[in-house]
Structure 1
Amino acid sequence: MNLAAYQRLIVGYHGCDASVAKKAIEKGEALLPSEKDYDWLGSEIYFWEHGPDRALAWAKQRCSQGKLKNPAVVGALIQLGNCFDLLDTRYTGILAPAFEELQKRLKFDGRDLPRNHGGDDLLRRDRDCMLLNWLLPQLEKEAGSQRFQTVRGMFQEGGAAFEGSGIRFKSHIQIAVRDPSCIIGYFRPA
């Protein structure tokens, strides 16, 4: 597969604790990748594309769960570079055959395939995460030295925005940055 550069700059927002935001914005310290088994786009640094309010709502939710002390948001200018874009059929078209191959390998190894779960929204994406964490390195091996630097996906989330609507209240585009050099810089949202 040819990993064509996706030459697009986007503004992303990362929900976090205020101490993390301060270090990133004032000292230029890198944000740490998430490595949970249920991350929607694999294990990387997550941003909401053009979604500062959504990033803050997520940070506030984490605060209410006792996982953050002071909710904050870091803005970032991100060059998508070589992007595995799940809004492009060039990439979504390879997911089903890749999934079949992963299933075979797990069965051969005597391992179970995880499921996505977490209500109607499937908020815990264990299966998606496993597939992307397995698939992307496979594709990169085939392409030689090229690497997917980012992963981009759109997610329908939340209840209907209004009665009878197919528009969901919390829908968003998420970016997972695999190569921190794609983050041009951080800023404090206004």
Structure 2
Amino acid sequence: MAGDQISPSMNEYDWLGEGAYFWESSPERALSYARLIKQYKRGQGSIKEPYVVGAVIDLGLCLNHTEEGALYPGTSFRQETHIQLCVREINCIKGYFRPLNVDGTLLQP
């Protein structure tokens, strides 16, 4: 991770366009998605080893959109709801870190 840059995603299915994708406050969801991508060999170059990094991001101008569809009829609970960010200008990423579990241990040792 030291000195490495995040490569922008450039897949046809990238719904927010070309850029580096992040999940707000949800490294577990990001890891789950990376494992799914590896399993189905989806995306350019495919994922060899799913891994999650955290980032400090200067949001600037952004669009907030959450998934639709109630988990239970008549409720506001949503299944796999998350805020996904697509950073199109890599210089908006100010730093990287390794995410921690609630107990303070590394999400991925």
* Smaller-chain TM-score bracket: 0.7 to 0.9
The structure having more radius of gyration, on CA atoms, is 1
Structure 1 segment 61-140 matched on structure 2, within 5 A: 61-66=36-41, 67-81=46-60, 83=61, 85-86=62-63
- One-letter amino acid of the counterpart of residue 38, structure 1: Y
Report the structure, 1 or 2, having the larger strand content.
Answer: 1
Structure 1 residue 177: Cα displacement: 0.9
**5+ unaligned residues in a row in structure 1: which ranges?**
1-24, 87-152
- The equivalent of 1:60 in structure 2 is 35
Structure 2 unaligned regions, length at least 5: 101-109
Residue 29 in 1 paired to residue 8 in 2? no
TM-score (norm 2): 0.74
CA–CA distance in 1 between the matches of 2:58 and 2:84?
14
Higher helix share: 1
The count of corresponding residues between Structure 1 and Structure 2 is 96
Task: Please give the TM-score of this superposition, normalised by the length of structure 1.
Answer: 0.45
Instruction: State the AA in 2 paired with 1:35.
Output: M
CA RMSD of aligned residues (A): 1.9
Other-structure match for 1:49: 24
